[in-house]
Amino acid sequence: MRLVFAGTPETALPSLRALIDSPRHEVVAVLTRPDARAGRGRSLQPSPVAELAREAGIEVLRPAKVGDPDFLAQLAALEPDCCPVVAYGALLPQSALDIPRHGWINLHFSLLPAWRGAAPVQHAVLHGDEITGAATFQIVKELDAGPVYGVVTEEIKAIDTSGELLARLAISGAGLLTATLDGVEDGTLQARPQPLEGVSVAPKLTVEDAQVDWSAPAMRVDRLVRACTPNPGSWTTFRDQRVKLGPVRPVASAERLAPGELSVEKNTVRVGTGTHPVELGEVQPQGKRLMTAGEWARGVRVTAEDRLV
């Protein structure tokens, strides 16, 4: 099939590479978000998908709006049979959905209908799911509600961050997406409607969502920090300054501490929660480099009155 691949971040790269390498399909163009400012100089940078497409000699489309008539005409002129999508980052109007004869097929990182929305992996970690996965489905107007072609499953490990889990799903999902397109092309695969039960929604986690509530149980603190790693990054405040937190370790056997209370022993820093303490891993004080919790505690000279808030 002739494909126009839609995607933006690094998460989409395994799928794009798999489709470029596929002997059964041709990626005639990629659709990605416009260049965005990044880095210390805040200069305009192309998306990871745009960079890979450029290296492969594939045309790159960067419309400000997918519904723009000029873009729709450009897309129609490419005569795509199907448009596979992985984390493109914008809603697709019906006028665009109608162009390819096999529609737009999305790789979504959850077992639909669970966790429809922008942050399925983060919510799976946050809510303590034991199993997640990826699904390919036909895009329809309603958010992530189209019929499903196939799924792969993935165990969520007790120490997984959302970044680590997403990296594994991006690789297994690339195989699923390729197999889905193969089945659509040869007519052996049919999409099935999603169940009406079990629908849950996964909105984007904001910086405000990522603040640790030390009165919550240790398990909740652990899940929040892992869910927000690497983005948007969990945080707390110490002496009225923000401190970013890497993954923590619940310590059920440790002596109880009041919520936010700090206990420092050599290189070990523990913080009280609503249940048992958690041990801090890496931290990054405001305006400083990433460091171990022990380095941080020695530098700020934690006192008995200090608290994380």
Peptide bond into 193 cis (omega under 30): no
pLDDT at res. 115 = 98
Per the rule left: phi > 0, alpha: psi between -120 and 50, beta: everything else, 193 is beta
Is residue 67 within 8 Å of residue 59, measured between CB atoms?
no
Share of the chain above pLDDT 90, in %: 96
| Alpha carbon separation from 131 to 86, 109, 124, 225, 293 (Å, rounded) | 21, 12, 8, 19, 31
Q: What is the pLDDT of residues 37-62, one digit of tens each?
A: 777 777 889 999 999 999 999 999 99
- In this prediction the pTM is 0.94
| Alpha carbon separation from 87 to 47, 91, 269 (Å, rounded) | 12, 11, 37
Mark the ranges of the chain whose per-residue pLDDT is less than 50: none
pLDDT at res. 42 = 77
Bridge partners, 243 (sequence order): 236, 285
